[in-house]
């Protein structure tokens, strides 16, 4: 497990990302999508991840490609940083209140990708941000991190609070799942011997 630096270039986006899973929550985020900058900044802080993201994307079209491709790149970074996943706890879950919103996330860094997304967004936009892109971000993440992630909205009426709750809850869930279990620091957490 290590610090990872990745570049991902397509005809739509040019992304540079650095991740330290065991950092101090420091971040430098410049995605070209203001609301996503805010979400990734608090994701890093609440997860204790050091995260740097720079993206030049075709935001003149819309934010979709940038948001999805950053999710993909962040997922790739998690997968590379975790390697064979030796010693990690593997599972994590959090129920997080964000004012009137209450969000549950549960993750398993199993090597299998699945997103359960049970979230009702009351508004289609937060500022200029399309709220449907939240699901696209997490789809990109789980497909490339090869993890199972369930996100459930247990309560909420303010869309900003709901989305912020999702990113904070996911961060804390991931922090627990990727933490090292000192009693099994040399073990791969699976009876198969591989994840």
Q: What pLDDT digit, counting tens, does each position of 5-18 carry?
A: 999 999 999 999 99
**pTM greater than the 0.95 cutoff:** yes
What confidence score (pLDDT) does residue 2 get?
81
Q: Is the pLDDT score of 58 beyond 70?
A: yes
Q: Is the pLDDT score of 69 beyond 80?
A: yes
Supply the angle between the helices 133-145 and 64-82 in degrees, to the nearest 10. Answer: 30
In a domain, 87, yes or no: yes
In a domain, 192, yes or no: no
In a domain, 169, yes or no: yes
137, two tokens: 């971000």
Q: Residue 99: which CATH number?
A: 3.30.230.40
How many domains does the structure of the chain reveal? 1
Residue 5 neighbours by CB under 8 Å, 6+ apart: 16, 17, 18, 19
In a domain, 194, yes or no: no
């Amino acid at each position: 497990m290590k610090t990872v630096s990745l570049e991902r270039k397509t005809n739509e986006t040019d992304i540079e990302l650095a991740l330290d899973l065991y950092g101090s929550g420091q971040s430098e985020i410049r995605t070209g999508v203001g609301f996503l900058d805010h979400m990734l900044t608090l994701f890093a802080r609440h997860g204790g991840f050091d995260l740097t993201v720079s993206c030049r994307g075709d935001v003149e079209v819309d934010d979709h490609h940038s948001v999805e491709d950053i999710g993909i790149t962040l997922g790739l970074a998690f997968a590379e940083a975790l390697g064979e996943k030796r010693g990690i706890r593997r599972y994590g879950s959090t129920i997080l209140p964000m004012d009137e919103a209450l969000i549950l996330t549960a993750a398993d860094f199993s090597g299998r990708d699945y997103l359960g997304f049970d979230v009702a967004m009351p508004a289609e936009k937060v500022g200029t941000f399309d709220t449907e892109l939240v699901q696209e971000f997490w789809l990109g993440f789980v497909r490339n991190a090869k993890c199972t992630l369930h996100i459930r909205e247990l309560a909420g009426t303010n869309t900003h609070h709901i989305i912020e709750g999702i990113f904070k809850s996911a961060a804390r869930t991931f922090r627990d799942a990727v933490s090292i279990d000192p009693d099994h620091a040399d073990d791969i957490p699976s009876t198969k011997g591989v994840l």
